[in-house]
Amino acid sequence: MQEFYTVKDFDYSGKTVILRTDFNVPIVKGKITDQSRITRSMATIKYLIEHKAKVIVLSHFGRPKGKFNHDMSLAPIVDAVSAHLKGKEVQFAYDILSSKAKKQIASLKPGDVLIAENIRFHPEEETNSKDFAKQIANLGDYYINDAFSCSHRAHTSIDAITEFLPSAAGLLHEEELTSLNKLIDYNKKIFAITGGAKISSKISLLRQLVTKASSLAIGGAMANTFLKAKGFNVGSSLYEPDQINTAKEILNLAIESKCKIILPFDVITSKNLNAINQKCRVVDGNKVLNKEMILDIGPQTIIEITNNLLESQIVIWNGPLGAFEHRPFDVGTAAVSRSIAKFTQQKKIISVAGGGDVVSAINQSGLEDSFSYISTGGGAFLEWLAGERMPGILALKKNYEKNRLSN
């Protein structure tokens, strides 16, 4: 049953489309270090060009808190998008509501593309302002949300704008929902692997996973809080003192739900994060010394996780298992990534990964094509997994109901 309009439901010939994509890619010193979000946004942009739409692309970048910030400009994206379009000229508008931008829009021809500057430079973006939405909607005939990865935000360019234009999900957005719905079947034997920095940002996900998965491995800095909750010394590791009770609660919930928990029983420690010239140690999870930091999972834990993969049907992964940006603390994440990729290719498991950092770690190892599915969503992937109602998706459903009844 159709729940919302998709790109292919509208006729774009000569019409102007407001397209929300996610161009929030990692940029270091003006250079894009991982293009995957841009690459995966191109299907919808190309479809619209081929169907003679005039395309206005909106995206956010970083968290500029409602004002201009040179470091968070979307200007470096323009050339990258143009390169994906065989060098086609792509315009850039510094302020989508300025009179200059209105002139640029008026001169667009069917098949032209204009990218607007970071929508979060407008403070009204994050307040889900109807007034701001209406002003943007006045610039176009249709709205398309291709940013599944932003759809957990009730922001103007995701939510409020759908009140003023016929609205559809873009091709990537549709692909995300179709793939996640198809692959993640909670009736099968699920092995969830979580890591990353904080429990506090992933509590509802952890609660959901322990009740639905057969097993849950916890790595990354997040595991340190669990080790602390078990009464172990974590030395000077990153952990969250105010989440120790949450960790205990999740461990109890796991016992009640018969979910097997895999915590790092060996870890890699060092006295500081920049371990080049520093000594690292492989040590049992309960024998960490006061001055040491836990920075990765150890070899026995890698083996345990690898063995557990083979006892599972579906593997869901969010969050790196160590401080992977700093060698050699990428070893645990890379090793698990290779095992998942191998078993997926051997058709022994189905694998789904999501989350900004874990996906960039998988890309770093060049293994992205060996997973069953990689979501572009970070927070959105987590909210989807936790079964939460996402504002961007609800907005598209409402828009569909409204327009279907009035047609």
Per CB under 5 A, residues contacting Mg ion are 356-357
**Is 209 among the residues that bind ligand ADP (CB under 6 A)?**
no
- Kind plus residue range of the DSSP H or E element containing 343: helix 331-345
**Is 332 among the residues that bind ligand ADP (CB under 6 A)?**
no
Q: Are 267 and 283 in contact (CB under 8 A)?
A: yes
DSSP state of 9: G
Burial of 245 (0-12, 13-18, 19+ CB in 10 A): exposed
C-alpha torsion sign, points 147, 148, 153, 159: positive
CB of 206 to ligand ADP, least distance (A): 12
Q: Closest by alpha carbon to 22, among 6, 39, 9?
A: 39
Q: What Cα–Cα distance (Å) separates residue 201 from each residue in 65, 129, 158, 194, 358? A: 20, 26, 22, 12, 15
- Using the contact rule CB under 6 A, the part of the chain among 21-29, 190-198, 208-216, 282-290 near ligand ADP is 190-198
CB of 195 to ligand ADP, least distance (A): 6
151 DSSP β-pair partners: none
Question: Catalytic: which of 195, 196, 379, 392?
Answer: 379
Cα–Cα distance between 24 and 18 in angstroms, integer?
Answer: 17
Q: Are strands 31-32 and 27-28 parallel, antiparallel or unpaired?
A: antiparallel
69: its two tokens: 């910030």
Taking residues 39 to 78 in sequence order and writing x for each that binds ligand ADP by CB under 6 A, - otherwise, the string is ----------------------------------------
Taking residues 272 to 311 in sequence order and writing x for each that binds ligand ADP by CB under 6 A, - otherwise, the string is ----------------------xx----------------
153 contacts: CB under 8 Å, gap ≥ 6: 126, 159, 391, 392
Is 379 noted as a catalytic residue in this protein? yes
Q: Are 251 and 227 in contact (CB under 8 A)?
A: no
Choose which of 64, 196, 264, 285 interacts with ligand ADP (CB under 6 A).
196
Nearer to ligand ADP, 24 or 318 (CB): 318
DSSP state of 63: -
**Is 157 among the residues that bind ligand ADP (CB under 6 A)?**
no
Is 88 noted as a catalytic residue in this protein? no
Choose which of 17, 190, 218, 221 interacts with ligand ADP (CB under 6 A).
221
CB of 356 to Mg ion, least distance (A): 4
Q: Are 317 and 295 in contact (CB under 8 A)?
A: no
What's the distance, Cα to Cα, between the start and end of the chain in Å?
18
CB of 68 to Mg ion, least distance (A): 25
Question: Catalytic: which of 46, 189, 198, 281?
Answer: 198
At CA 74, angle to CA 100 and CA 63, rounded to 5? 115
Nearer to ligand ADP, 263 or 295 (CB): 295
CB of 203 to ligand ADP, least distance (A): 12
Is 30 noted as a catalytic residue in this protein? no
**Is 125 among the residues that bind ligand ADP (CB under 6 A)?**
no
Nearer to ligand ADP, 377 or 391 (CB): 377
CB of 32 to ligand ADP, least distance (A): 18
Q: Which residues bind ligand ADP (CB under 6 A)?
A: 195-197, 220-221, 238, 294-295, 318-320, 322-325, 355-358, 378
Task: Give the catalytic positions in this structure.
Answer: 37, 198, 356, 379
